[in-house]
Structure 1
Amino acid sequence: MTNIADEFPQDPDLLYLNHAAVAPWPRRARDAVTAFAAENLHQGARDYPRWLATEQRLRQQLQALINAPDSADIALLKNTSEGLSVLACGLDWQDGDEVIISNQEFPSNRIPWQAQARHGVTTREVDISMADPEQALIDAMTPRTRVLAISSVQYGSGLRLDLARLGKACRRAGVLFCVDAIQSLGALPFDVQEIQADVVVADGHKWMLGPEGLALFYCQPDLREQLTLFQFGWHMVADAGNYDRHDWEIAADARRFECGSPNLLAVHALSASLSLLLEVGMDSVGDAVLARSTWLDTALRACGRGQVLSPAAPERRAGIVTWRPEEPLDACFTRLRDAGVVCAQRGGGIRLSPHFYTDHTVMERAVALLLG
């Protein structure tokens, strides 16, 4: 039986509600990195093949996390921005093509598309503040739309979208469906086959409880063969271990997007973190995350002060609750930070983001401080 409290021995004066930004590691991730460092110190890379076995295990864990058809569909990239850029820079754009995003996207899911303006591509930001944001995105599609690129959960408001509905609409319209899943992977169950996504990207340092610098990049096989590559090296070729071979071909699987040496330090950490989430089970993790965000939402709406900016409907919630105080925002944030509350200023308010393990006393103390 996993001892969750032992996995997160946080400072008792710390009220950590910032998993939508950078999450604390569980103890087992710390232990994995410590062991990896000690092995490097005493033995160097003597057992490098075993390190690569950990890398393969991570691909399998990520495959399970998103229900991908095969671990060969998973590439390990540096971050979400790199993954989105692989798609944005790899497509064979035609003058007049369009990309649809929302008007609430984090810059990672905006800038790579806007950068394609040099190819005559228009990036259209759709207002999703209405009651049916999916329909607004669907209605925005035209015969020139090549890609719908959307975050599964919006980083500022915490709005959760119906990805299956959007995926179905994209299939019907012949539009590529790209999902920035950084605010849901590790927090809620996710099924790439159910939502029919062509690409899913997410860094591991938020809800997956891992380090910065390592991201999941899923690309369905038919599409990955169509993407032009702009990074090349020894690791992305079919016969990667044959250093004397001068003729080469691109790897058939998702490793084609990994041009050089893997980040094995981060691999060990993220694999350990995912082992905890998969042990607990993503259904249980998701239920716990939603229970905590619902508690925060209810408490803040009931206080009669300020304004909850996150969606009220339960089906629209994920792990983020954003609240606008009556006092100046900067002053409120500074007061909370000085009192030990780790949160963020996002979306015009104070963003709180508990994870499945967050103790209710942490939320209760934070709300008491928030309300002054």
Structure 2
Amino acid sequence: MPDFKKHFPALQECTYLNTPASGLLPAPVYAWRKAQEDQFFKHGNDYAQTIETLNDVRKTLGRFFHASETDIALVPNFSLGLNMLLEGLPQQQKILLLNGDYPSVNWPVHMRDFDVCVAETTGNVEHNIEAAVARHHPTVFIFSVVQWLNGIKLDLGFLEELKAYHPDLLLIADGTQYLGTEQFNFRDSPLDVLGASAYKWLLSGYGNGFFLFKETIKEDVFPSAIGFNSAAGFDSRPEETTFAKHFEPGHLDAFNFGSLQQSLQFMETLGVEAIQDEIVKLSQKAKTAFTKAGLLSETVANREIHSSIFNLKGNDALFQKLKSNNITCSQRGGGIRVGFHFYNTEEDLEIFLKALHA
């Protein structure tokens, strides 16, 4: 097995199962950030270099996720990007949401004049979505690919079928808890829009995120956010602004977005397929162990497709015991949430299980 831990000094300090809250920073990305800070401190900013860096970030994102670099927007985080997107969505839309989805997915929709319907995330989730679409006839479905509370991962094959049967249904997804865990091809996916913050599974630190757009979304969404950074040049007119640049109204931080590029390149060096294999292997072992111990909800235990995030039955006393055993995780939704990334190992799982049963 590849030694992924050597790139993450923080793993020497604890058993880190908290990637769903925040991913770790790889050593090569940290080294790059130090060099960039030193350059800026000693020599100031070269704006032409900043523009080149940001263009390179889009190219790397396009290559990594198989998306058109001209239809990629760099945003500080998913929440801001979705709010800008919703401002450009005609208000008469009927929007389907998932009950209990991440607040930054659901709250911005509820705060606007949309007709909202909801599908439950208990039982057969895909069946619930299909039934909600048949009953309510939404025009837009906004959702997280992987649910933040319990790690339920929507079946991408199901989403392909949903889009095939309802081609006019816009699929707008949050990939924050998904991207970075497996190979993903946006161009071939059924999604119309995919956004993400990159500080979790993409290991890029804070202050960077992105949105990927299909060309057809421009027929349905009319973003109004704008600023001088949206312009192609000093002589550009506001109405000449391209779709994706509406999401970049102000100056962008080349340090933060450069960190995203460095992290993606680091993951490419390790091999995205190898990363995926490690996550799948460990997550399956974890799910088997957690199911046997009766720690999972019936909905999660019965799903064939699941992510590497788990919400385990457990109170504050158990959480404090885990902390005393130097295990880093989070309390979420009345349970204890853990997540396994490629830098975790079977030894981490064994340490966690031993602490649980001690």
Question: Segments of 4+ in structure 1 off by > 4 A?
Answer: none
Kindly indicate whether residue 118 of structure 2 is the aligned counterpart of residue 125 of structure 1: yes
- Residue-by-residue CA offset, 1:235-263 (whole Å, 9 max, x unaligned): 112x33x2xx3744343251231001012
Q: Is the 8 A contact 1:202 1:215 kept in 2?
A: yes
Q: Is the 8 A contact 1:14 1:342 kept in 2?
A: yes
Q: Which amino acid aligns with 2:42?
A: H
Kindly indicate whether residue 312 of structure 2 is the aligned counterpart of residue 318 of structure 1: no
- Residue-by-residue CA offset, 1:172-218 (whole Å, 9 max, x unaligned): 32111111111110012222233321110110000000112211111
Structure 2 counterparts to residues 262-273 of structure 1, below 5 A: 262-273=252-263
2:100 counterpart (104, 109, 113): 104
Please identify, of 350-359 and 9-18, the stretch whose mean Cα deviation from structure 2 is larger. 9-18
Cα offset, 1:231, TM superposition: 2.4
Segments of 5+ residues of structure 1 without an aligned counterpart are: none
1:288 counterpart (278, 284, 288): 278
Structure 2 counterparts to residues 96-245 of structure 1, below 5 A: 97-116=93-112, 119=113, 121-131=114-124, 133-141=125-133, 144-173=137-166, 174-224=168-218, 226-237=220-231, 239-240=232-233, 242=234, 245=235
Q: Which amino acid aligns with 1:127?
A: E
Distance 1:144 1:311 in 2: 27
Kindly indicate whether residue 71 of structure 2 is the aligned counterpart of residue 73 of structure 1: yes
Distance 2:115 2:110 in 1: 7
Q: Is the 8 A contact 2:198 2:208 kept in 1?
A: yes
Segments of 5+ residues of structure 2 without an aligned counterpart are: none
Q: Is the 8 A contact 2:195 2:212 kept in 1?
A: yes
Distance 1:247 1:287 in 2: 48
Cα offset, 1:276, TM superposition: 1.5
TM-score (normalizing by structure 2) = 0.92
Distance change (3 Å), C-alpha of 1:314 and 1:287: farther
TM-score (normalizing by structure 1) = 0.88
Q: Is the 8 A contact 2:144 2:174 kept in 1?
A: yes
Superposition RMSD in Å: 2.1
3-state secondary structure, aligned to 2:118: strand
Distance 1:13 1:295 in 2: 24
Please identify, of 149-158 and 308-317, the stretch whose mean Cα deviation from structure 2 is larger. 308-317
Cα offset, 1:350, TM superposition: 1.2
Distance change (3 Å), C-alpha of 1:38 and 1:127: same
- Residue-by-residue CA offset, 1:296-346 (whole Å, 9 max, x unaligned): 2222333x4x52237235742111122113xxx112112222332111112
The percentage of counterpart residues that share the same residue type is 26
Kindly indicate whether residue 296 of structure 2 is the aligned counterpart of residue 308 of structure 1: yes
Q: Is the 8 A contact 2:72 2:212 kept in 1?
A: yes
Kindly indicate whether residue 350 of structure 2 is the aligned counterpart of residue 358 of structure 1: no
Cα offset, 1:135, TM superposition: 2.5
